């Protein structure tokens, strides 16, 4: 119990001592803080005085600087005004030049554009005209395809082309169309040559379906079959022409098969020489528009020669008659020569008599002149 009391007393004393020490420390800190505050007040006052003085000096400096700046600004404004005026003048001059160049460029561009538009309009007109021709040509091609796809129409087309070529190459009396032969067959065209060789028949019907099949074959097998079909059809047509249009005693010993296409003719001779050879053996000559024209020119020369041969007998008869006339003329000339000889003798005698008469007349005239001169001389003599 005493120990507890003693401990409490010691603790209380220690707390009192600690409180006293704390109070002493706080008092010292208060005095230090007060001194610090006072020092801060003094420093602040000093700073305020210095700041006030510095502010006044700065104001003076600012006023001076402002005056200087105003002068410089005035100079700058004046310089800027002059520069602006010079810049404005320069810009106006450049703008005028640019405007002039731009105007010239626009005029030139407008002129070029106008010319280009005119040229373009002309070209468009040409293109439009060409388009019309192309459209017409397309229609004609379609029509030609329709003709060539129809066997009857194709035959008519070939006949029309054949007729045009023949009419342009031969005189009207050298051919005939759609002539019926003695066997009842009708020939598309017959060239009227004299015997020999006699009239030559021209056939214009060609099996074009097999040729289209040949051109449209898609593979090797189809091409092989198309070639076979084309060969068979063409050889059959050659045989038909040979049997129908080569008639002994009525027509020539050969006939012509007309192909209305140069392409078909070229393909035939280039790829099917066996057909051409067999047609020769059958005495059927295959011709295209070009080769037919050459053949007809030869025929025209033959016709001319034949006409000359036909007229040879007439010419000989006329020459005989002419010889007789010349003989009679010679006799008459001889008789006339005799008459001329007699007349010449008479003329000489007449000339002699005329000369004598003329000389006598001259003598008489001389005598008359002499008498006249004597009379005139007597008149001039004085009495």
pLDDT tens-place string over residues 260-309: 888 888 888 888 999 999 999 999 999 989 998 888 888 888 777 767 77
Residues of the chain short of pLDDT 70, as ranges, are 1-20, 22-37, 40-41, 44, 47-56, 58-59, 70, 73, 80, 84, 87, 91, 95, 98-99, 102, 135, 137-157, 306, 310-313, 365-383
- For 341, the token pair is 């000889």
pTM summary value? 0.45
pLDDT on residue 141: 47
335, 339, 340, 358 from 346: Cα distances, Å: 17, 11, 10, 18
The per-residue pLDDT for range 70-124, each reduced to its tens digit, is: 677 677 777 767 776 776 777 677 767 766 776 777 777 778 778 877 877 787 7
Closest to 198 measured CA to CA, from 306, 280, 115 = 306
Instruction: Supply the pLDDT for residue 256.
Output: 92
């Amino acid at each position: 119990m005493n120990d507890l009391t003693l401990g409490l007393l010691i603790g209380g004393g220690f707390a009192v001592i600690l409180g006293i020490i704390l109070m002493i420390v706080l008092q010292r800190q208060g005095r230090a803080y007060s001194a610090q505050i006072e020092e801060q007040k003094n420093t602040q006052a000093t700073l305020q005085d210095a700041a006030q003085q510095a502010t006044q000096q700065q104001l003076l400096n600012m006023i001076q600087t402002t005056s200087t700046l105003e002068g410089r600004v005035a100079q700058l404004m004046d310089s800027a005004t002059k520069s602006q005026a010079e810049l404005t003048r320069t810009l106006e001059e450049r703008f005028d030049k640019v405007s002039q160049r731009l105007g010239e460029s626009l005029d030139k561009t407008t002129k070029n554009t106008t010319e280009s538009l005119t040229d373009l309009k002309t070209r468009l007109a040409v293109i439009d005209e060409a388009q019309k021709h192309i459209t017409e040509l397309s229609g004609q091609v379609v029509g030609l395809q329709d003709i060539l796809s129809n066997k009857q129409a194709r035959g008519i087309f070939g006949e029309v082309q054949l007729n045009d070529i023949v009419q342009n190459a031969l005189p009207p009396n050298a051919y005939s169309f759609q002539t019926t032969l003695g066997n009842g067959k009708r020939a598309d065209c017959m060239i009227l040559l004299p015997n020999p060789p006699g009239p030559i028949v021209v056939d214009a019907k060609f099996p074009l379906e097999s040729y289209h099949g040949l051109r449209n074959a898609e593979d090797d097998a189809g091409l092989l079959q198309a070639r076979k079909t084309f060969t068979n059809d063409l050889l059959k047509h050659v045989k038909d022409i040979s049997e129908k249009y080569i008639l002994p005693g009525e027509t020539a010993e050969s006939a012509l098969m007309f192909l209305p296409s140069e392409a078909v003719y070229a393909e035939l001779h280039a790829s099917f020489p066996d057909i051409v050879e067999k047609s020769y053996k059958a005495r059927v000559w295959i011709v295209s528009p070009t080769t037919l024209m050459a053949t007809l020119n030869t025929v025209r020369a033959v016709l001319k020669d034949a006409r000359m041969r036909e007229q040879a007998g007439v010419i000989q008869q006329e020459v005989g008659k002419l010889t007789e006339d010349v003989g009679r003329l010679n006799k008459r000339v001889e008789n006339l020569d005799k008459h001329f000889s007699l007349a010449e003798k008479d003329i000489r005698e007449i000339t002699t008599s005329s000369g004598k008469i003329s000389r006598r007349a001259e003598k008489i005239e001389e005598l008359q002149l002499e008498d006249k001169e004597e009379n005139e001389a007597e008149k001039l003599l004085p009495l």
